A and B are shown apart, each in its own frame.
Chain A
Amino acid sequence: EAGVTQSPTHLIKTRGQQATLRCSPISGHTSVYWYQQALGLGLQFLLWYDEGEERNRGNFPPRFSGRQFPNYSSELNVNALELEDSALYLCASSLYRGAGNTEAFFGQGTRLTVV
């Protein structure tokens, strides 16, 4: 069974541009979560989508947004990129609503570099 898949693996953008990151959850999982892991920092919660709706978001500015499609895949968009947005972006999925009710499984991540 395929795990959580993310694309692209690496992404290089210029400051001010927009980045789009994609995530496909494990088959049957309806919840998708996005986390940011900047160098030397822990995983910071960005967004949670379930059944196509944004259910919760972390302390990030509105230029971090996303959506979940009918097939439960998800997209994270980062607008007006800043150098500090350079990080590993991890997507996770879970079977039932809300990590903590059930296990959340992570993908390999997208390394975003802003130059």
Chain B
Amino acid sequence: EDKVVQSPLSLVVHEGDTVTLNCSYEVTNFRSLLWYKQEKKAPTFLFMLTSSGIEKKSGRLSSILDKKELFSILNITATQTGDSAVYLCAPAAGGTSYGKLTFGQGTILTVHP
């Protein structure tokens, strides 16, 4: 069965801090890994990673995938209170799991002013 573990489960920081969120996975027929930010209801798409070692960046957020060690990290630099949310990672697989994203339990990030 596919497995996704995110760590830490929760994190409390102050504005300006840098945070690193971890996602490890065991997925058969891995295709890619997606990161989402969920504030109230709709998860908002952040990144899709398919290749190892290639960093994707969007403003203060960046992410990288290691397909050999089966993990991904999401970095947020110079955090702001608006970054407070649940961050979800979701590997996508092929085979019988084709089309399905398996979500981790999420990391709850709280940024204090």
Min C-beta distance of A24 to chain B, whole Å: 14
State the main secondary structure of chain A at its contact with B. strand
State A106–B42 Cα separation when bound (angstroms).
6
State A95–B34 Cα separation when bound (angstroms).
15
A55 and B99 contact, CB distance less than 8 A: yes
Q: What total of A-B pairs shows CB separation below 8 Å?
A: 79
Task: List which B52-111 residues lie within 8 A (CB) of chain A.
Answer: 88, 90-94, 96-106
A103 and B48 contact, CB distance less than 8 A: yes
Neighbouring A residues of B104 by C-beta, 8 Å: 42
B100 touches which one: A45, A50, A103, A105 (CB < 8 A)?
A45
Residue numbers of A with Cβ under 8 A of B are 4, 31, 33, 35, 41-45, 48, 50, 55-56, 58, 88, 90, 97-109
